[in-house]
């Protein structure tokens, strides 16, 4: 008799356990289920019951729904959450169930791509992440198989498109870090609050307001990112501020996207230039964008100098006193570009396994070998 947790531990609102075995074996698990009206519980095939799951000592673990989809199978649906789920799993194991390595009944008949998508779907934090996985789940196998019947040139082009599609999907599906950095008083905390649509960080006209970095998770154009508001970077005699600046540098170094904020109402100073230089020195491993803030005030900053210091970086102009929605959307647009770009609505490869096998197919295709077995290996 085997038990499989079909849902992710601790992530969902419900936990689903699949149990397989002979009907004789399953009577031991049926005994763990207490129905309020049926004394000697013996489920009928195709029926669903509501009651309680109890341990060997009769202690109630959770309210559950138990179903018998067919002979030799039970589906137990309990509340989600690690504590209850672990307790039920232990209880089922004590009653004689062996923990299955992943997949039993609900996964039968699914190809590997579908199973991989099912595995990742509960971890999605944005609608876009889920849409990319669901589209791949439904259409990637078909897109891959179509390659087998194309000419060599088109075949290679499609394989290359798929590999770059993987770069997009993998950058979308993993959590990302965005660091708002810049000189004191540039408006980093003001922008942070606008992006979060809440009054989260303190804002004041005193330079050096933010000391401890403040960070919040955000859905930025579909990217799940930890957005950090950091202390303004400057030379200082103050030991506390100096530690804050050190921490800002360390956040900067860890970011996937550095969003440098400049106060557009004053000319660039040496501190701005040093921060830009630092961001540029990190740009081989992370994206950089520049935000010229305070455009509601008379402009004094040289945008061209910023562009020259940060080649390749998007430069946007915003105001935190004006239309918050506009500021939010122009930041999001540039940040999405920096993090990996927009989804082209197609079915994309989304695991390292897909990527590695696609690379193998490219090599095979270049040497005129048959790639169909590799394609079938990806589909699984
Ligand atoms: N006029 C104008 N003032 C702004 C704008 N953005 C921010 N400010 C003001 O600039 C001052 C500094 O803003 P903050 O958001 O605290 O700046 P900061 O970069 O977080 O500053 P530190 O935490 O000290 O490094 C505050 O008085 C804000 O109200 C803007 O777009 N226009
Ligand atoms: Mg601040």
Looking at residue 57, its pLDDT comes to 87
Ligand nearest to the CA of 191: 1
Which stretch of DSSP H or E encloses residue 73?
Answer: strand 73-79
| Domain map (residue ranges) of the chain | 2-107, 112-172+350-379, 175-339
Cα separation values, 27 from 41, 51, 68, 320, Å:
9, 16, 12, 66
Residue of the nearest CA to atom 16 in ligand 1? Answer: 203
Looking at residue 252, its pLDDT comes to 94
CA distance 317 to 331: 9
Q: Is 56 helix (H, G, I), strand (E, B) or coil?
A: coil
Looking at residue 368, its pLDDT comes to 86
Residue of the nearest CA to atom 2 in ligand 1? Answer: 294
Domain 2-107 and domain 175-339, same fold? Reply is no
Q: Which of 346, 372, 363 is nearest to 143 (CA)?
A: 346
Ligand nearest to the CA of 261: 1
Looking at residue 101, its pLDDT comes to 66
**Which of 180, 189, 322 is the best mutation target for the ligand 1 pocket, counting ligand atoms within 8 Å of the beta carbon and taking the most?**
189
CA distance 380 to 373: 10
- Please indicate whether residue 264, judged by its CB atom, sits closer than 6 Å to ligand 1: no
Distance from the CA of 258 to the center of ligand 1, in angstroms?
Answer: 18
Q: Which of 193, 325, 314 is nearest to 259 (CA)?
A: 314
Ion ligand 2 residues within 5 Å by Cβ: 188-189, 209-210
Instruction: Read off the tokens for 248.
Output: 């800002």
CA distance 54 to 287: 53
Number of Cβ within 10 Å of residue 338's Cβ equals 21
**Which of 180, 182, 185, 202 is the best mutation target for the ligand 1 pocket, counting ligand atoms within 8 Å of the beta carbon and taking the most?**
185
**Which of 199, 251, 293, 320 is the best mutation target for the ligand 1 pocket, counting ligand atoms within 8 Å of the beta carbon and taking the most?**
320
Distance from the CA of 119 to the center of ligand 1, in angstroms?
Answer: 44
- Please indicate whether residue 187, judged by its CB atom, sits closer than 6 Å to ligand 1: yes
Q: What does each of the 380 residues of the chain score in pLDDT, given as a tens digit?
A: 999 998 888 777 899 999 999 999 999 999 999 988 888 889 999 999 999 999 988 899 999 999 998 899 999 999 998 999 999 999 999 999 998 865 555 556 789 999 899 889 988 999 999 999 999 999 999 999 999 989 989 999 999 999 999 999 999 999 999 999 999 999 999 999 999 999 999 999 999 999 999 999 999 999 999 999 999 999 999 999 999 999 999 999 999 999 999 999 999 999 999 999 999 999 999 999 999 999 999 988 999 999 999 999 999 999 999 899 999 999 999 999 999 999 999 999 999 999 999 999 999 999 988 899 999 999 99
Rounded to two decimals, the pTM is 0.82
Residues ≥6 apart with Cβ < 8 Å to 342: 221, 336
Looking at residue 202, its pLDDT comes to 97
In CATH, what class is 2-107?
A: alpha beta
CATH hierarchy code of domain 175-339: 3.40.50.300
Give the pairing type, strands 73-79 and 60-67: antiparallel
User: Residue 72 burial by CB count (10 A; 0-12/13-18/19+): exposed, middle or buried?
Assistant: middle
């Amino acid at each position: 008799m085997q038990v499989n947790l079909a849902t992710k531990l601790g992530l969902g609102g419900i936990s689903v356990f699949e149990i397989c075995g002979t009907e004789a074996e399953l009577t031991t698990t049926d005994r763990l289920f207490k129905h309020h009206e049926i004394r000697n519980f013996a489920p009928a095939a195709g029926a669903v019951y509501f009651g309680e799951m109890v341990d060997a000592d009769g202690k109630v673990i959770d309210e559950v729904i138990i179903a018998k989809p067919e002979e030799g199978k039970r589906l137990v649906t309990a509340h989600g959450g690690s504590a209850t789920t672990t307790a039920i799993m232990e209880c089922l194991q004590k009653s004689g169930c062996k923990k299955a390595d992943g997949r039993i009944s609900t996964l039968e008949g699914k190809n590997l791509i579908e199973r991989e998508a099912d595995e990742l779907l509960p971890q999605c934090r944005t609608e876009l992440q889920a849409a990319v996985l669901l589209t791949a789940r439904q259409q990637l196998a078909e897109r891959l198989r179509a390659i087998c019947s194309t000419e060599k040139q088109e075949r290679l082009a499609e394989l290359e498109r798929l590999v770059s599609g993987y770069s997009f999907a993998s950058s979308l599906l993993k959590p990302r870090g965005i660091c708002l950095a810049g000189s004191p008083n540039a408006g980093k905390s003001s922008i942070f609050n606008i992006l979060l649509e809440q009054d989260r960080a303190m804002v004041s006209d005193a330079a050096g307001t933010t000391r401890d970095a403040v960070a919040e998770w955000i859905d930025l154009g579909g990217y799940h990112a930890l957005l950090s508001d950091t202390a303004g970077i400057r030379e200082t005699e103050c030991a506390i501020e100096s530690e804050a600046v050190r921490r800002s540098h360390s956040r900067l170094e860890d970011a996937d996207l550095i969003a440098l904020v400049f106060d557009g109402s004053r000319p660039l100073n040496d501190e701005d230039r040093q921060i830009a230089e630092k961001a540029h020195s990190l740009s081989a491993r992370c994206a950089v964008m520049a935000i010229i803030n305070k455009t509601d005030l008379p402009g004094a900053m040289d945008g061209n100098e910023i562009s020259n210091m940060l080649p390749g970086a998007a430069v946007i102009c915003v105001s935190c006193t004006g239309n918050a929605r506009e500021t939010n959307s122009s930041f999001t647009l540039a940040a999405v570009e920096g993090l990996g770009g927009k989804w082209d609505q197609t079915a994309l490869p989304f695991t390292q396994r897909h990527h590695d096998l696609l690379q193998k197919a490219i090599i095979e295709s270049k040497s005129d070998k048959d790639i169909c077995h590799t394609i079938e290996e990806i589909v699984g």
